[in-house]
A and B are shown apart, each in its own frame.
Chain A
Amino acid sequence: MASKVDRIVARLQEKIAEGDYYEAQQQTRVAASRYIKTKNWPAAIDILNNVAQSLLKAGQGGSGGDLCLMMVDVYKQAELKPDSASKGRLLTCLRLFAPEEPTRKSFIGEMMGWSSKFGEYPAGDPELHHVAGSLFAEEHEPYEAEKHLIIGTRDSAEILAKMEYTWYKEGDAHLAPHFAARAILPYLLVGNLRDANAAYRIFTKALSADNAGLNVQEVATPNSTTVAVFPSLPLLNFLGLLLLAVRRGAPEVFKGLLSKYAAQINETSWADPLDMIGEMYFGIRKPRQANPLMDMMSGLFGGGGGGGAPQQRRPGLRDGPAAPGLD
C-alpha cells in the first residue's frame, strides 16, 4: 500500500503549496485516523511525518506541530521502540520548528515521554536530549539547554560547557566559576564524573585562551596528581579540587574543602547541590524533612532500591539527588 500513501501525501503537499494549510492538516488527521483504526501504523506515521514536515517547512508551526504530536501518539499506540529510524524521524521534524513556535515545547515533552516509556532510559533517550539541548543552547535558552544536556550523550558536555562560557563572557570576569558550576555540579549530581571533568576542562581551557593575563599555576604532587590553580578565582579552584575529591570519597577531606571555601560558597547558590554531593559521594547524610520523592531515588548508584541489575557497589555513592520543583 506504499504507493497509495505516497499519492495521498502528494495530494496534501499540493494543498500546502497552494496555501491550503488548514485543509491539509485536517485531511491528514482524517487519513491518519483511518490507518490508526486498522492499526496500519507505518502508513499513519508515514503520512503524518511527511505532511508535518511540509507544513513546518511552509512556516506553519501550529499545524505542523499538531501533526507531530499526533505522530508521537501513534508511536505510543504502536508501542514503537526508540531506534535510529523512529528517533530520526522525530528529530528531523524537531529541527524544522521555528524556535518561537509554542507547540515545539509540547512536542519535545511528548517525545521524551514516549522514549522513556518504550525505551531503556527512564529519564528519556540521551540522543533526543542531546539534540533538544543543542537547539536550546544555540538559541541561548540556557535553562532548557541544561535540563536536556545534563542527561544527553557524551557529545553534550562540550555543547553545554561552551554555552555556559559564552554566557559567562557577557558578564563580569570574576563570575567564571558560577557559570562553570552550572555544568559541573549538575553532572556530578547525575553521577557523571566524566562529563563534569570534561566541562571543567573545556571551560578553563577557553578561559585561559581568552585571557592571556589570567594567572594560572599548575600544582603537582610527586605522584603526579595535578590541578590548575587560578589565584584570582578561588571558587574555580574549589571546583577543580572537588572533582578530585569525589574520586576518593573521604568525608573529612570534603568537609575540609568546604570549610576552606566557606566564605566564597556562601555567596553562591551551591549549598543544596553540595549537600547532595556530600551524600552521594562522601556518605554524609544531612537531616532533611521527610521527602517521599527521595525514596524514589534509591535506585541510583547501586543503592539497594533497584535490586536486580548487577551494578558495581560504589562505596560512598548513595541515593540520587532530589530535583526541586518536579513539573
Chain B
Amino acid sequence: MAEASFAQTFLTTLEARPVKLPADYAEDPKNFPARQPYILARMPKPMSKPTRLAPGQERSIKVTLKSLRNPPLNIKLASLPPSTSLLDIKGQVTAQTRIPTDKLKILHNKKPVPDSKVLKDILGESDTAVEFSVMVLGGAAAIPPEEEAAPAAARSSGSSELETDAFWADLKGFLSQRLKDDGEAEQLSSLFRSSWQSSKSKP
C-alpha cells in the first residue's frame, strides 16, 4: 500500500497550502498564442484503423420541428443521415416555410442548438427520431411576403442586365461558340452593345 500511504501524506501536505486555482479553471482561448498546442511525443504503436460503416448501414433519422407560438409550425423531415447539421435542417425549414434561415432558432430540450452541431451529436447511439422546438425571431412578421413583386422585377431586371459587362461577355461567349469565330464574336457583340447604347440615348 505504498502508493496509498504516499497519497495520504501528500494530500495532507497539500491541504496546508492555499488554493490558488479552482478545479474548473480554464484559460480563455482568446488569450492563447497563435500556434498549435503542445502534444506529447508519438507512441510506439499507431492506432488501428476504424471499421467503417457502409452508407446503407447508417441509420436514418426522423426529425420533427414544432413551434407553438407565432407562427405555429409542425414540420416533419424524414430519412436524414446522422451527419445532417442544424444549419442543413434550418435550410429545409426555410425551403418549406419561406422563413429566412437567420431568423430561425432551434432548441432541443429547451436549449438552443448551434448551427454547427449535427444530429449525431444530439442523439443517443440508437435513437432514430428527434423533436426540436423552433422559434422565429420577430414572429410571423419576419416572414417575407410571396414574391408578387417578381413580374415587375423581371421586367426591370432585363434592362438592368444589359448594363452589366457580364451580360455582354456572356453574349460574346455564346456568339463565339455558335459562330466558332472569336474575332466575329468580338466585333458583333461590340456592335450590338454600341447600337443598344445609342438607342437608349435617343429621346
Q: Do A and B bind each other?
A: yes
A195 to B114, CA, bound (A): 21
Which of A225, A260, A316, A326 touches B20 (beta carbons < 8 Å)?
A316
Please, what's the 1-or-0 string for B145-176, where 1 marks a CB less than 8 Å from any CB in chain A? Answer: 00000000000000000000010000000000
If the complex has contacts A197-B24, A248-B17, A314-B21, are A122 and B32 also in contact, measured as CB distance less than 8 A? Answer: yes
Q: A residues within 8 A CB of B83?
A: 95
Within 8 A of B (CB), among A194-248: 194-195, 197, 217, 219-221, 223, 225-227, 229-231, 234, 237, 240-241, 244-248
If the complex has contacts A219-B8, A237-B3, are A306 and B35 also in contact, measured as CB distance less than 8 A? Answer: no
Q: Is the CB of A143 within 8 A of B3?
A: no
Interface size of B by CB at 8 A reads: 57
A193 at the interface (CB under 8 A from B): yes
Q: Is the CB of A247 within 8 A of B21?
A: yes
Which of B4, B11, B114 touches A225 (beta carbons < 8 Å)?
B11
A85 to B94, CA, bound (A): 14
A102 at the interface (CB under 8 A from B): no
Nearest residue (CB) in B for A270 is B40
Within 8 A of B (CB), among A303-318: 306, 309, 311, 314-317
A311 to B31, CA, bound (A): 10
Nearest residue (CB) in B for A197 is B23
B64 to chain A minimum Cβ distance, whole angstroms, is: 21
Q: Is the CB of B33 within 8 A of A300?
A: yes
A94 to chain B minimum Cβ distance, whole angstroms, is: 10
Q: Is the CB of B29 within 8 A of A273?
A: no
B203 to chain A minimum Cβ distance, whole angstroms, is: 31
Interface size of A by CB at 8 A reads: 96
Q: A residues within 8 A CB of B12?
A: 221
Q: Is the CB of B37 within 8 A of A186?
A: yes
B200 to chain A minimum Cβ distance, whole angstroms, is: 22
Q: B residues within 8 A CB of A146?
A: 39-40
Q: Is the CB of B35 within 8 A of A123?
A: yes
Q: Is the CB of A92 within 8 A of B87?
A: yes
A183 to B120, CA, bound (A): 23
B116 at the interface (CB under 8 A from A): yes
If the complex has contacts A143-B42, A248-B17, are A299 and B87 also in contact, measured as CB distance less than 8 A? Answer: no
Q: Is the CB of B20 within 8 A of A323?
A: no
Within 8 A of B (CB), among A115-170: 116, 120-123, 126-127, 131, 138-143, 146-147, 150-151, 155, 166-167, 170
A34 to B173, CA, bound (A): 14
A5 at the interface (CB under 8 A from B): no
Q: B residues within 8 A CB of A141?
A: 47
B interface, CB within 8 angstroms of A: 1-4, 6-8, 10-15, 17-27, 29-43, 45, 47-50, 83, 85-88, 101-102, 114-116, 118, 121, 166
A194-B23, A256-B13 are known contacts; what are 11 more A-B pairs with Cβ within 8 Å? A87-B116, A182-B40, A186-B40, A192-B26, A193-B24, A231-B4, A248-B18, A256-B10, A281-B21, A300-B33, A301-B27
Query: Which 7 pairs between the two chains have the least Cβ-Cβ distance?
Result: A191-B27, A88-B115, A88-B87, A122-B34, A248-B17, A269-B41, A123-B32
Can you list 15 contacts pairing A with B, beta carbon distance less than 8 Å?
Answer: A34-B166, A84-B115, A87-B116, A88-B115, A89-B87, A146-B40, A178-B43, A195-B26, A225-B15, A247-B20, A248-B18, A269-B40, A296-B33, A306-B31, A324-B38
